[in-house]
Structure 1
Amino acid sequence: MTLPLALLQLVSPALPVGAFSYAEGLEVLVQAGELRDGATLKAWLEAELQFGLLAVEAAALGPMQQAFKTSNMEQLLDLNGWLIAQREAPEIRAQQWQMAGSLLQLLAAMGWPLTEQSQGLKLTGLKLTGLGWTAAWAWAGHCLDLAATDLVEAYLYGWLANQISAAVRLIPLGATEGQCLQLQLVPLISSQANYLISQDPRQMFSSGVGAGLAQLQHGALYSRLFRS
């Protein structure tokens, strides 16, 4: 199977959405001594990939992409609001909106503005405001005509790459070890994508209580490098 080149652009560190400025609670865990090295980081990432809210979001990509294809904006916005509501920390909600806005702005500049007039979307009084990162990613998949499984896989991979990038700057983890860890987790990403593509996100739940608590504590850190 040939990898769609558009996916490389979406997961590129050069994508101007500001992902590099977020750690999503890792900074709290490092300062608390929970994440100390590559082994503890790997265990944390594996748990989030399998049982965290990330998996629920990834499972929602297919239905969101389909909602864009069928112009079912009521379904899209309902699912978007449900996902945003599960983010306890205000910093994470702000991250979702900021990154989504940046991606939508980029896609508009590339020829795919998300507006009722340009796309023929039937909003029926609903507003395309407050879209989160998952919804924006689904819109990118729709615009670039990407297969749902590829989109889910890239979503997980992009999150993993950003987390490892943050960890390299936070704990004694060299760039080489970070890259080795990223490669080790590729099989898990692939298997998760194949599993999540057939799941109903509404029937799933997140076990990422520790991640939520860490994200809530980030704003109270005395010294911090990241925005979440």
Structure 2
Amino acid sequence: MPARTSLATAMRTITATTIITGMTTTTTEAAGEADRRAALLRLLTWLSPAFPVGAFGWSHGLEAAIAEGRLSDAASVRGWIAALVTRGSGWNDLVLFAVAYRCAAARDEAGLAEVGELALALAGSAERRAETAALGEAFAAAAAPWSETDAAPYPLAVARVAAANGVLLGDALVAFAHAFAANLLSVAVRLVPLGQSQAVAVSRELEPALLAAARQAEAASLDDLGQAALWSDIAAMRHETLQPRLFRS
């Protein structure tokens, strides 16, 4: 009889432990899902056109390219933006973002300083340098409720806040690439001009390029920096003397 009692007690203990463990696992998974959703919400806020960084005032040289007739339809706009993200200034920004994120996560201030210097040095014109500096300063100020951070070139400013708030690097890179492309597309809507339906189609067609660039940048190092979008760099330089103009770069 005592043996039967011990066996019954043991079975009840095992059952209770299983239930408690299952509840703990479920609670942990729910907490993780809540954290991921909170991170997504933050990304949507930080990289929304409504976030007060003033990105709408900069065209990244696109205004000059349009004025020169290099961009005149949806296909040329799509190709231009895709080239920037995969082998131009957009690609460099994604690499700088990824390296800065890892430095921030490791609290490597010396590494962040090095990346910041590179970000400014890689700006191929005075206006592009002003663009990344102004956007970064505005972002750091606007993101203060989430994380106090010093002003830095734009990709670094976003990366530091993302790392401080538990946003996954891969997700942050996809969001940053999308915001970069969306801002340039909004310039084209106003200046080419493109219709809204055409712009939406271009946005859809850019998805593979954006996802591929973000995926590659996630594992990139400073050795992967480099670009070959020369017409974009030239357009950015020519914009400095363009008259009349609507944008600051």
Q: Aligned residue for 1:149? A: 170
Indicate if the aligned counterparts of 1:59 and 1:152 stay in contact, CA closer than 8 A.
no
Aligned residues: 213
* Equivalent residue letter for 2:226: F
Report the TM-score when normalising by structure 2: 0.81
Q: Distance in 2 between matches of 1:71 and 1:196?
A: 20
For 1:112, give the aligned amino acid.
S
Unmatched 5+ stretches in structure 2? 1-32
Distance in structure 1 (CA, Å) of the matches to 2:63 and 2:146: 37
Structure 1 residues 82-106: Cα deviation after superposition (integer angstroms, max 9, x where no partner): 1210112111111111111111111
Cα shift readout 1:4-43 (whole Å, capped 9, x = no counterpart): 2222112211010000001111111111111011111111
AA of the residue aligned to 2:189: V
Q: Which amino acid aligns with 1:188?
A: A
The yes-or-no answer on 1:112 pairing with 2:133 is no
Q: Distance in 2 between matches of 1:83 and 1:18?
A: 19
Residue equivalent to 1:35? 71
Higher relative contact order (CA 8 A, sep 6+): 1
How far apart, CA to CA, are the structure 2 residues paired with 1:174 and 1:31?
A: 18
Find out whether 1:196 has 2:217 as its counterpart.
yes
Looking at structure 2, the residues matched to 224 and 165 of structure 1 have their Cα atoms a distance apart, in angstroms, of 16
* 8 A Cα contact 1:56 1:201, kept in partner: no
User: 1:222 is paired with a residue of what secondary structure?
Assistant: coil
Following TM superposition, the consecutive aligned residue runs of length 4 or more in structure 1 with deviations greater than 6 angstroms are none
Q: Could you tell me which of 165, 174, 187 is aligned with 2:186?
A: 165
On the 8 A contact 2:147/2:165 being kept in 1, the answer is no
Q: 2:114 aligns with which of 69, 72, 78?
A: 78
Out of 54, 77, 87, the residue aligned to residue 18 of structure 1 is: 54
Measured in 2, the distance between the counterparts of 1:201 and 1:158 equals 22
One-letter amino acid matched to 1:42: R
Q: Deviations over 1:48-105 (max 9, x none)?
A: 1111021122022222112112221111111111121011211111111111111111
**Counterpart for residue 226 of structure 2:** 205
CA positional deviation for 1:170: 0.5
Aligned to 2:28: none
1:105-163 CA distance string (max 9 Å, x none): 1122x14212xxxxxxxxxxxxx56x200110111211321111111111110000000
* Distance in 1 between residues matched to 2:87 and 2:136, nearest whole Å: 23
Higher helix proportion, which one?
2
Larger CA Rg, structure 1 vs 2:
2
Instruction: Indicate the RMSD between aligned Cα atoms, in angstroms.
Output: 1.6
Task: Answer whether contact 2:60 2:128 (CA < 8 A) is retained.
Answer: yes
162-171 or 69-78: bigger deviation: 69-78
- What's 2:10 paired with? none
2:200: which partner in 1?
179
Aligned-partner residue type, residue 165 of structure 1: S
Q: TM-score, normalization: structure 1? A: 0.88
